[in-house]
Amino acid sequence: MAAITRFSKPLALSHIRRCLYSSSAAAVVSDESNPHVTSPFGNYKITRRDPSERNVQWVFLGSPGVGKGTYASRLSNLLGVPHIATGDLVREELASSGPLSKQLTEIVNQGKLVSDEIIISLLAERLEAGEAKGQSGFILDGFPRTINQAEILEGVTDIDLVVNLRLPESVLIEKCLGRRICSQCGKNFNVASINVKGQNGNPGISMAPLLPPSHCMSKLVTRSDDTEKVVKERLRIYNEKSQPLEDYYLNKGKLMEFDLPGGIPESWPKLLEALNLDDFEERQSAAA
């Protein structure tokens, strides 16, 4: 289990960016015929620090719709580390009408993966901006998503823990289709009411909708890639390209599997327990 100790020393992440921009961002969409692109970090390695001397560096894995963003964001508030979701970075780029925006819109709306070079460029920029603000540690959500991305990450820093959230596929589709975002405050909600009966010895799953407060209600929008066709394609791509990461991190002894028992009220306390964080706030205030 990762040590949950906080230190003020930030990672030397600006080096990541320097290395990254010495390489060219060749393609916009992930090149399926050549998945093993050269590391954009070259031979550079960040000076590795012992996990006890820095903040947590965790990764959240899980299929689209499983709730990675919700749980990663709650943990980020609890632990005081940034929650960095590469999907959010991509959507910010789309909204910026920058040079990549049109090509990225097409890729995202087809449920395809953006190229490793572009995603790492967006991630490095975000990490560097965080470092400039004194942030240290991270909870990554949506990255890595391919073995190649995991190897690149491994080449520049140490990941302490990888949490793989799991739900049955039928629930995932319903959850993606029920997802709504408040266009004003940016918070995520879900209007789906999930009730799946237990089968073949597996327990049933019930999840109440996560409804917005009344002031967000009229401002709800649906992500353009949350249509049934695109969600199915994202799940297919996840199974093909991202699921192998489970074995990758299992072999490194870093994987923690977590079958969500239901919605937030049931799952959140159990997740904290599994992470040995159920008395984290008490321990923090006792140590202060």
Residue type (1 letter), 169? E
Least distance to ligand ADP, CB of residue 274, Å: 21
Least distance to ligand ADP, CB of residue 251, Å: 20
Instruction: Give the rounded distance of the alpha carbon of 137 from its chain centre.
Output: 14
Positions marked catalytic: 68, 145, 179, 223, 234
Give residue 251's region: left, alpha or beta (phi > 0; psi -120 to 50). Answer: alpha
Q: 3-state secondary structure string, the chain?
A: CCCCCCCCCCCCCHHHHHHHCCCCCCCCECCCCCCCCCCCCCCCCCCCCCHHHCCCEEEEECCCCCCHHHHHHHHHHHHCCCEEEHHHHHHHHHHCCCCCHHHHHHHHHCCCCECHHHHHHHHHHHHHHHHHCCCCCEEEECCCCCHHHHHHHHHHCCCCEEEEEECCHHHHHHHHHHEEEECCCCCEEECCCEEECCECCECCEEECCECCCHHHHCCEECCCCCCHHHHHHHHHHHHHHHCHHHHHHHHCCCEEEEECCCCHHHHHHHHHHHCCCCCHHHHHHHHC
Least distance to ligand ADP, CB of residue 279, Å: 31
Of 40 and 142, the one with the shorter C-beta distance to ligand ADP is 142
Judged by the rule CB under 6 A, the positions of this chain that interact with ligand ADP are 64, 86-87, 90, 107-108, 111-114, 119, 142-143, 145, 149, 225, 234
Of 19 and 245, the one with the shorter C-beta distance to ligand ADP is 245
Of 2 and 176, the one with the shorter C-beta distance to ligand ADP is 176
Q: Return the closest-CA partner of residue 231 out of 179, 186, 181, 164.
A: 179
Of 86 and 136, the one with the shorter C-beta distance to ligand ADP is 86
Of 112 and 254, the one with the shorter C-beta distance to ligand ADP is 112
Of 149 and 267, the one with the shorter C-beta distance to ligand ADP is 149
Least distance to ligand ADP, CB of residue 84, Å: 10
Least distance to ligand ADP, CB of residue 288, Å: 35
Least distance to ligand ADP, CB of residue 278, Å: 27
Residue type (1 letter), 244? P
Residue number with the shortest CB distance to ligand ADP? 87
